[in-house]
């Protein structure tokens, strides 16, 4: 019985701490236009905890927009991811104290240390650790899913004086935010707290996209006309 619990524990520890490879099959066309299989596109993803740590403090960008001062009352980065990361750290520290172990320098290595120690504990204790680690795994998965359900739209932020292309939409929660000016939009607006109507934002995005489509097709028409003038209509 306890070997099953240990095997389950090992699986959860692997998911939390070990990189995984994701294989995406690829296909192309050969010289005859027939579909051929290409080598898989292999992406190595870090363990769940490392993935969560990556979104705690957004690193990418480097453009001047991200160098904005952050109001003291609001946490920078992704507070949900930060909360999950801290909870896991605290949970790991609790088990280390209980078993009089010395915490290692990374949370991953400390978790693997707990797995090693669990082998010499009774099955009730192992079960308790398994339940806790499964909760960590679940919370990582939830926060990662939410972070990647957050598509970026191309329209600029409608806030006067902002206009940055840093709007983020959370489809599930029907909310949006601008990561530059920190404006927020929701179904139930609350202007006193700086939360505006998501319907108004949707209108703004639709209008902006329609205008850019119109501008793009006009630019293409102008370009086509110029080409036709240069090469003559027969070349078209
Ligand atoms: Zn903005």
pLDDT tens digits, 83-118? 999 999 999 999 999 999 998 989 999 999 999 999
Q: Please check whether residue 187 lies inside any domain of the structure.
A: no
Q: Please check whether residue 177 lies inside any domain of the structure.
A: no
Q: Please check whether residue 85 lies inside any domain of the structure.
A: yes
Q: Please check whether residue 38 lies inside any domain of the structure.
A: yes
List, for residues 111-149, the tens digit of each pLDDT value. 999 999 999 999 999 999 999 999 999 999 888 877 766
Residue 78: band (very low, low, confident or very high) from pLDDT cuts 50, 70, 90: confident
Distance from residue 180's CA to the centre of ligand 1 (Å): 5
Closest CA relative to residue 17, chosen from 102, 79, 120, 88: 88
Q: Please check whether residue 116 lies inside any domain of the structure.
A: yes
Distance from residue 176's CA to the centre of ligand 1 (Å): 11
Q: Please check whether residue 160 lies inside any domain of the structure.
A: no
What is the percentage of the chain residues whose pLDDT exceeds 70?
A: 84
Distance from residue 177's CA to the centre of ligand 1 (Å): 8
Provide the number of structural domains found in the chain: 1
Q: Please check whether residue 142 lies inside any domain of the structure.
A: yes
Distance from residue 83's CA to the centre of ligand 1 (Å): 25
Q: Please check whether residue 218 lies inside any domain of the structure.
A: no
Distance from residue 163's CA to the centre of ligand 1 (Å): 6
**Cβ atoms of residues 181 and 85 within 8 Å:** no
Domain that holds residue 47: 1-62+76-149
Cα angle, residue 128 at apex, residues 20 and 131 outer, rounded to 5°: 45
List, for residues 11-70, the tens digit of each pLDDT value. 999 999 998 776 767 777 888 888 888 887 776 778 899 889 888 865 543 333 444 444
């Amino acid at each position: 019985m306890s070997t099953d619990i240990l095997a389950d524990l090992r699986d959860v520890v692997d998911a939390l701490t070990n990189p995984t490879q994701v294989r995406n099959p690829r296909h192309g066309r050969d010289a005859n236009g027939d579909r051929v299989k290409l080598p898989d596109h292999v992406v190595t993803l870090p363990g769940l905890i490392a993935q969560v740590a990556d979104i705690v403090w957004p690193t990418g960008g480097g453009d001047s927009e991200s160098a904005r001062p952050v109001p003291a009352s609001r946490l920078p980065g992704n507070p949900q991811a930060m909360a999950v990361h801290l909870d896991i750290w605290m949970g790991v520290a609790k088990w280390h104290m209980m078993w009089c172990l010395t915490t290692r320098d990374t949370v991953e290595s400390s978790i693997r240390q707990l797995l090693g120690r669990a082998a010499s504990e009774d099955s009730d204790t192992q079960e308790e650790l398994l339940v806790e680690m499964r909760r960590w795994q679940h919370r990582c998965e939830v926060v990662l899913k939410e972070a990647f359900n957050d598509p970026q739209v191309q329209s600029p932020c409608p806030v006067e004086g902002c206009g940055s292309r840093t709007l983020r939409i959370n489809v599930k929660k029907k909310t949006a935010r601008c990561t530059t000016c920190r404006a927020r939009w929701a179904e139930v607006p609350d202007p006193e707290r700086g939360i505006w109507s998501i319907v108004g934002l949707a209108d703004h995005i639709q209008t902006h996209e329609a205008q850019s489509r119109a501008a793009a097709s006009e630019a293409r028409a102008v370009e086509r006309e110029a080409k036709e003038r240069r090469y003559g209509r027969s070349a078209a």
